[in-house]
A and B are shown apart, each in its own frame.
Chain A
């Protein structure tokens, strides 16, 4: 295929990708957009076959068949609660492929100027960091390793040594075009990825996934520069922009800076605080009392947190909402940006439980509505509804945007115990006179509420 046609069809593919991302501005067009994106990818892959006419075609097709099969099975089987792990792994394999491309391009002996080799070294670096960082993130989310921040004595010095070594070998690659240097660089930066993710705690994982998403995009863009492939540059840059923006949004939603989240554990300030239970008196009630509270309200806003997903209770929550709506009560859902384990995770979990997306309200939209709600029902959430974020400047979550459930007429918490949330701080709202607690597993409690509301 001639070069002009190749370039033109790559442009078509790039436009398809932009349309795919544009489609995500509304749930109505999103699915079509995704199909267009996939079609663009198919075009690009056919074009590269036509343009390059590979020597050992059968082997390449076989590798594609195996990879496609694995991807397909993984994507079909994964539970929606495990989506963060899945995306982390996909980020990782993409980064690894990008790093390998750069490494092999060097090994094939295609030389180039300082800029070319410099970008090549950078591709190996960022791709390797993405790969090892993502695999460790996967292991943390899958609870293969502990989700707590991990630091070992002297870690700071090891990190400094690895960074210095990476820079040194990177320069060696850029100046000397050394394959050995590139392999060393890959090994060192694989270590760097681990060092980056080890000190990050479980609650901060949404940020890390977003960041690694950005890294995987940057890897692809950089490998596009190495291969002089415009499609890879455009596609990689789009992904890089997406990951970067999401990282920033997540950090803002947690009221913390990216630097604090990534390197906070180094400074000694672990993100996990106290986990002791308080013995101050609270008002708890049985399912029957709370059913009356809900059943005679006009407007109920549900604030779900990750506890809901852990208990696999999203379907039971939907049943309760159905029951309330049958009684003419207006039910909507208040979604905090960091509810769940990755950006937007809670929306997916509720959509899976067949909750229509027009009832899922984002924080800025729903916060004024709490004033007119009779009951705010908090299920498995704690820090994201803690008014300390507004009221107490000394609190670790001070400044974090929260759902203003305290403005509702009554507040009901479904909680497993009095243990504080991830931030390890007490929630004053639990002791407020208008708050009622129902203790127990979220799924059990919701099941009892459904039965009790039915019986009203």
Chain B
């Protein structure tokens, strides 16, 4: 895809990001951070694409490290966010347990 098309996608994503994030409840800023952090772990897709057809073993080893790091970010991010979000319950949801 040419540079201008990619730039277009980038600029539009900036506006979508700004709109969506500015509506996030301040109560959930920590899960927002860990959740968005998990989303940036999608760089895993990039690391796999680069590693797919490497000839050199030395480079491949580095690529495996990149894959591992990205997976830590992706998996850890989503799991820790879920762990936090399941703790947020409203008064009504809590009453049956009391």
Chain A interface residues (CB < 8 Å from chain B): 13, 17-18, 20-22, 24-28, 30-31, 34-35, 37-38, 41, 44-45, 47-49, 52-56, 59-60, 62-64, 66-68, 70-72, 74-76, 78, 80, 83, 86-87, 90-91, 93-94, 96-98, 100-101, 103-105, 107-108, 115-116, 209-210, 213, 216-217, 219-221, 223-225, 227-243, 245-246, 249, 335, 337, 342-345, 347-348, 351-352, 354, 356-360, 362
Smallest CB-CB separation from A223: which chain B residue?
A: B46
Name A75's contact: one of B25, B27, B83 (CB within 8 Å).
B83
Q: Are B21 and A21 in contact (CB under 8 A)?
A: yes
Which B positions have Cβ atoms within 8 angstroms of A? 1, 3, 6, 9-10, 13-14, 16-18, 20-54, 59-60, 62-91, 93-94
What is the CA–CA distance of A22 and B36 in the complex, to the nearest angstrom?
Answer: 11
- Given A37-B38, A59-B64, A348-B30, A242 and B17 touching (CB < 8 A)? yes
Q: Which residues of A contact B33 (CB under 8 A)?
A: 87, 209-210, 213, 242-243, 246, 342-344
**Interface of A (DSSP majority class):** helix
Number of residue pairs across A and B with beta carbons under 8 Å? 360
Q: How would you classify the secondary structure of chain B's contact residues: helix, strand, loop or mixed?
A: helix
A228→B64 contact, CB < 8 A: no
Contact A93 B73 (CB under 8 A): yes
A residues less than 8 Å from B68 (CB atoms): 63-64, 66-67, 70
Whether the Cβ atoms of A228 and B51 lie closer than 8 Å is no
Query: Are A225 and B10 in touch, CB under 8 angstroms?
Result: yes
A239 with B88: CB separation less than 8 A: no
Q: Is the CB of A343 within 8 A of B27?
A: no
Provide the residues of chain A in CB contact with B32, threshold 8 Å: 21, 24, 242, 246, 343-344
Cα A108 to Cα B3 with chains together (Å): 20
CA distance in complex: A56, B57 (Å): 11
